[in-house]
Structure 1
Amino acid sequence: MTQRWDVFCKVVDNFGDIGVCWRLARQLQSEHQLDIRLWVDDLQVAQRLIPSLTLAATEQRVDGIRVMHWCADADFSDAADMVIEAFACGLPPAYIAAMQQQQSRWVNLEYLTAETWAEDFHAKTSPQANGMVRHFYFPGFTQATGGLIRERHIPPVLHPPAKQAVNACKVSLFCYPHAPIISLLSAIAEGKQPVHCYVPSTTILPQVADFFGKTSLQVGQMVSHGALTVEVLPFLSQADYDQLLTRCDINFVRGEDSWVRAIWAGKPFIWQPYLQEEGAHIPKLKAFLAQHYQSMPITALNVSQAMHMAWQDTAFQASVWDDYLAAWSSINAATQEASRTLFSQTDLASKLVIFCNNL
């Protein structure tokens, strides 16, 4: 009999939460033959990634997944065998009551981090006052964690490292609006190497338009200044975005979903973690850089760290961009090696299924 799983997703950070949950739900359904319901509280945001969603529907089927609108008047009386609470989103009290009746298993899927404490807390339990047990599942970059989302169709990075950066550098730009976007574009424009920058239509588009002295930019439009040419892309599906990452030489990514996809693309990337109070995101960044680029030569590592830290600042120095381009070959080789190392580990969905079946 097919196992029934429910995945609960509360949209907090625009596309990050739903992006991870939608990928996971599809993989669990297609590769592990599970009956999946995805509960989403904001269908309007979800529709950007799942265009065929009908906003007025309380229940609908998309790509084999039953998408449920998580709203106040939803029917929470039918709990699944396995319940995934994504990112501590909190489950409806009525649904938790149904879980008690069903004797459902309960797992909280945590945010991805490279910090070493994730290994200590992965797979730990939290007994609840109602007698149920909540299990904590930490994705991660080591065998002692829950792994990374990676579908079977993703190929390993096999091509040899390039010996030097290409003449016409292709860059993708996906970031949070508080990033030093204007100073980055200025640094690229003032540089000697021509850069073609692809910018999907997101909340940063007004700042890009402002850099070029435009009131707005439209999808399909191309604008140039100095060494920089920007091409505005539509908001991309996950599959199209993954393709963009593999075609570019440098990728600016953010949050969790695009971060992991940049790893599988095997191209040099600059990650912007989600902004947290009191700079709590900076240790997350430093832990990832230390873990991911263990094989990188020290000079290239210093350049990569300087680039990442500048991208978290309020301004971006042109010299940081120039240094990164000069070290691109070494960074590229180390990025590919790190991707191959992670590819040898078991993916998150597979490890999650094993973990849940053993509860």
Structure 2
Amino acid sequence: MPWSRMPGMRTHWDIFCNVIDNYGDIGVAWRLARQLVAGCGQRVRLWVDDLAAFNRIWPAVDPRAAAQTLEGVDIRVWRVPFAHVEPAQVVVEAFGCALPEDYLAAMARRASPPVWINLEYLSAESWVADHHGLPSPHPRLPLTRYFFFPGYTTGTGGLAVEPDLATRRDAFLRDDAERFCADLGLAPAQPGEWRISLFAYENEALPGLLDAWAGGADRVVCLVPEGRIVPQLERGFGGRPLTPGDVSERGRLQVRGLPFTDQDAYDRLLWACDLNFVRGEDSCVRAQWAARPLVWQAYPQAEAAHHAKLEALLARYVAALDPVSARAVAGMWRAWNGVPGAPAAGDAWGAWQAQRQAIEAHAHAWPGRLADAGRLAEKLVEFAENRLK
């Protein structure tokens, strides 16, 4: 189904993405590029320095091609030295990746300098709205960079989402979910069974959680895409491999290895599960839009700086829950992120199980609350157009 297009100018955009690790940066940049083209009718050129990593989240990408067009996006290799090109009208620097000096100089030579936007990482922290949209003049060149913060309130840059996402999700659950699960090798779910996706960084809480799942009353089927958590899972099953297609069982727990998948297929995995363990930014946002309960693992930072981000989102997420269910969600999130004073993972899981119905109802309603923040791509277009006039 085509997305509805937002009226306005058809502006030319350059998005720069430096792939650092874990596919998060390219995941956000690619999703934004697609939404700007399909949802907002913009022309987008996406510069990426690691096409092999890009290929992991979107297999149609040819890692050897210097230029290619996919989903209407002009994809270019970001090489050093940088190619001589005419800068776009809007330039997006994803996550402070530092634009090439030659490109910056070309921006400064334009009679009308481009709108230069630094797309920041998502956070639910209260300071985000105060810093969103602030200008920063370049120290040498006649250019101004604007800091654009995605966020959860109307005073921020909003959240990445396609206008038709809820329609596609509901159609999948109605028409395709059973076939999707069968293609993964899953038998029809037993009464009370949990289907849980697990996409995570290495985690000290994992052994206790596996023990709770294996020794519990409810059957748990855990679906694990390739990633950093797999070696730890393999150790938890006596060293048995967990490559795509492999299955390991212990007590009431079955763990299935899945291939690393593209963004659209990952959405379908989130929709098909009863609970999703997610990591970083992009999968966290998609899990929230999935209308399914989630446990978020924030990207670990020095001196536990990520705990502040965790607590900010947690406070917002549980605000509408009853106190007992809110404590269950908070306990599980904190245990999974190693917050001092958090309950043991097994105890946190028991509390979550007891509140399953209330937590599921809350997750189903949550996307309606998220929508108040607005759509990231549309807010970026509005921000840029107001400065191009």
The change in CA–CA distance for 1:200 and 1:5 in structure 2 (over 3 A counts) is same
The residue type equivalent to 1:123 in the other structure is G
CA-to-aligned-CA distance 1:41-90 (integer Å, 9 cap, x gap): 11111110121222222222122111111110330432111001111111
Q: Residue 208 of structure 1 corresponds to which residue in structure 2? A: 233
Cα distance in structure 2, aligned partners of 1:182 and 1:37: 44
The residue type equivalent to 1:143 in the other structure is T
1:180 deviates by 2.7
**Secondary structure at the counterpart of residue 155 of structure 1:** helix
Cα distance in structure 2, aligned partners of 1:166 and 1:109: 45
The change in CA–CA distance for 1:349 and 1:187 in structure 2 (over 3 A counts) is same
Q: Residue 162 of structure 1 corresponds to which residue in structure 2? A: none
Cα distance in structure 1, aligned partners of 2:50 and 2:145: 25
Q: Residue 128 of structure 1 corresponds to which residue in structure 2? A: 138
Q: Residue 331 of structure 2 corresponds to which residue in structure 1? A: 306
The residue type equivalent to 2:78 in the other structure is W
Most deviating of 168-177 and 53-62: 53-62
Structure 2: gaps spanning 5 or more residues: 1-8, 172-189
Preserved CA contact (<8 Å) 2:131 2:147: yes
Preserved CA contact (<8 Å) 1:206 1:215: no
The change in CA–CA distance for 1:166 and 1:149 in structure 2 (over 3 A counts) is farther
Cα distance in structure 2, aligned partners of 1:345 and 1:17: 21
Q: Size of the alignment, in residue pairs? A: 354
User: Cα RMSD (Å) of the superposition?
Assistant: 1.9
Cα distance in structure 1, aligned partners of 2:62 and 2:130: 42
1:281 deviates by 0.4
Q: Residue 94 of structure 2 corresponds to which residue in structure 1? A: 86
Preserved CA contact (<8 Å) 1:11 1:18: yes
Cα distance in structure 1, aligned partners of 2:191 and 2:292: 13
* Residues 1-359 of structure 1 mapped to structure 2, 5 A cutoff: 2-102=10-110, 103-129=113-139, 130-155=141-166, 167-313=192-338, 316-359=344-387
Cα distance in structure 1, aligned partners of 2:119 and 2:132: 10
1:215 deviates by 4.2
**Secondary structure at the counterpart of residue 232 of structure 1:** strand
1:214 deviates by 2.9
Preserved CA contact (<8 Å) 1:293 1:335: no
TM-score, with normalisation over the residues of structure 2? 0.87
The change in CA–CA distance for 1:207 and 1:118 in structure 2 (over 3 A counts) is same
The residue type equivalent to 2:260 in the other structure is F
**Secondary structure at the counterpart of residue 32 of structure 1:** coil
The change in CA–CA distance for 1:324 and 1:187 in structure 2 (over 3 A counts) is same
Aligned residues: percent identity?
Answer: 40
Structure 1: gaps spanning 5 or more residues: 160-164
**Secondary structure at the counterpart of residue 165 of structure 2:** coil
CA-to-aligned-CA distance 1:88-109 (integer Å, 9 cap, x gap): 1111111101111231110011
1:317 deviates by 3.2
1:128 deviates by 1.1
CA-to-aligned-CA distance 1:231-255 (integer Å, 9 cap, x gap): 1111111111101111111100010
Cα distance in structure 2, aligned partners of 1:244 and 1:166: 20
1:316 deviates by 4.4
Cα distance in structure 1, aligned partners of 2:191 and 2:159: 30
Cα distance in structure 1, aligned partners of 2:136 and 2:71: 34
Runs of 4+ with >4 A deviation? 156-159
